[in-house]
Structure formats: C-alpha cells, structure tokens
Chains A and B, each alone.
Chain A
Amino acid sequence: MNKELQRKAVELYIRVKGMYILAEETTPGFMDFLQPVFEINRGFDHMSRVIAAETGLTVPDDPETYINENLKKATGHFYRAYFDITDWLSMNLRESVTEEFNGFSHTCIAEVAPEYYSEIAPAIEETSKRIAEIRNKKDVGNAGTVILMEDYAEVIETMREKIINIRRKKTGLIDCEERLKRENNLKVKKELLIAIVAAVVGALAGSGLCFMLN
C-alpha cells in the first residue's frame, strides 16, 4: 500500500513538473505563476515526513497510518498544483490561438486548417468551461475530478500539438489571404468593367434610338 501510494505521488509530481515547465514556456512575457509552487512545496513537506518515518528518523505511534496519511496529503497537494497548472496552460493555449488567427478570415482558416473549426475550437471551449466548473467546486482531490484532470491533460497536450501544426500552416494562411484579396480586387474590377460597358452600351443605344427617332 505504501509503495503504491508513494509511486502514485511521485508519478503525479513528475506530471506536475512536466506541465509546469510547459506552462512556463508558453506564457507570454516570461511570466510565472506561484500558486502551484506553494502547493508543490507543501506536498514535499508531507513527503519529507514519509521519508523521516521510513528511515527511522522519526518513530510515529502508528507508522503505517502516519505514512499513508502523509502520502495522501502530498498527493492532494500535487493534484491541486496539477489543477492550477492545467488551468494556467489552457489559458496560454487559448490566448495563443486567438493571437495566431488574429486578422485571418474564417474562409482561409477553414480552407487551410479545417481541423480548427471541427476539433480545436470546440475542444478549447469545452476544456475552458469544464476547468472553470472544477475550479468553482474546489473538490480537486476527489476520484472523479482526478480522472477528469487526466483527461484534460491529454486534451491540452493534443491541443498543443495541433496548435503547433497550425503555426506551421501560417504561410498557407497568408497566401490564402493574399489570393482572396487578389480575387476580390479582380471581382471588383470585373463588376466595374461590366458597369462601364453597360453604361456605354446604354448611352450608345440611347443615342442610336434618338438618331432613329429624329
């Protein structure tokens, strides 16, 4: 039981660390968010109690219960950190999407990155909404939330990969916008030409009619 809980706590910490690095890297202006650090710190405090009991540095009255309790508390803190980081990371991704697509038309986005409207945008909306719900409930540690958070981590990771792919398509988006602009100019010119021709034909027909009547 101890080893299993210990393994779970450490595995969770590794995921927390990975997500934290990712969140730091994706935050504009090299900004940091300290709340997860506080949670990690408290988690480590409980882990140090476990190590102290296991190495004989401290002798609790009921070592097994003491160790298990502290491992559970450490895991709870790591989950809270994990939740904070996921929330932070989802904000970064959402902001980066808004910035990446700023100034591009729906037509070009749909043409160059069709997966954006079918997969990425709904996933971002859904993730932001669900994270906000969990955040309001504040029951980060329960089993249901834990499963959800793991799902979100996967969603976020997938989203991140897709956003990176979209960034690669930016040249395509620029080309598409220029092509649309050219096509639009051509359309305007054509319409203008048709209007001029119609006016000339109309004028000629009018003068021809006048000539015939005279």
Chain B
Amino acid sequence: MQSSIRSVIDVPLPTPKKVTAKSKKFTIKESHRFRGSVRITCGKFYTDEEFESRRKRILSTPLP
C-alpha cells in the first residue's frame, strides 16, 4: 500500500507544454469534456506566442 502510494505521489507531474494555437484550437473543440474555467473552454487565453507578442507591443508603445 505504502509503496503504491509513494510510486504515485512522488512522481513529478508532466512538464507543462507550450500553449500553442493548436492546443487552443483543440481546447475549444473538446470544451464539452471540460468543466473548469469558462474562459478556457471559450479559448479566452493567450498562447505563449500571443502573450510574448502582446508584451513586446505594450513595451514598445511609449507612455504618454
């Protein structure tokens, strides 16, 4: 019992993959299988690329 619990609980979770446009598309497509955040099921989240390009755009816009 002990060893079986330890063999599960001590295993690291899989490393998070990059959030891509493909994974966003897949999330929206499979939203009926997901009961979590409404934003996520609607695809209202940044992909890593979108987040980076937004950060670059905001940082390059001079403040008034």
A residues neighboring B (CB under 8 Å): 24, 29-35, 38, 41-42, 45, 48-49, 52, 57-60, 87-88, 91, 94-95, 97-98, 101-102, 104, 106, 109, 121, 124-125, 128, 132
Verify B63–A35 contact, CB threshold 8 A. Answer: no
Verify B63–A94 contact, CB threshold 8 A. Answer: yes
B residues neighboring A (CB under 8 Å): 2, 5-6, 9-10, 12-13, 16, 19, 37, 39-40, 44-46, 48, 51, 54-55, 58-59, 61, 63-64
Verify B48–A35 contact, CB threshold 8 A. Answer: yes
Using Cβ atoms and an 8 Å threshold, which residues of chain B touch A98? 58, 61, 63-64
A109–B63 Cα distance when bound, in Å, is 12
- Most chain B C-beta atoms within 10 Å of own C-beta, residue among A24, A32, A38: A32
A-side binding surface: helix, strand, loop or mixed?
A: helix
Q: Chain A residue with minimal CB distance to B42? A: A30
Verify B51–A94 contact, CB threshold 8 A. Answer: no
Verify B64–A31 contact, CB threshold 8 A. Answer: no
Verify A35–B64 contact, CB threshold 8 A. Answer: no
Using Cβ atoms and an 8 Å threshold, which residues of chain A touch B12? 45
Interface residue from B6, B16, B54, B58 paired with A35 (Cβ < 8 Å): B16
A150 to chain B, nearest CB (A): 22
Verify A32–B44 contact, CB threshold 8 A. Answer: yes
Using Cβ atoms and an 8 Å threshold, which residues of chain A touch B63? 94, 97-98, 121, 124-125
Beyond A30-B39, A94-B63, 17 additional contacts (C-beta under 8 Å) are A24-B39, A32-B39, A32-B44, A33-B45, A34-B19, A34-B46, A38-B16, A41-B13, A49-B10, A60-B6, A87-B55, A94-B58, A94-B59, A101-B64, A109-B64, A121-B64, A124-B63
Verify A32–B61 contact, CB threshold 8 A. Answer: no
7 contacts between A and B (CB under 8 A): A32-B37, A38-B16, A42-B16, A91-B54, A95-B58, A106-B64, A109-B64
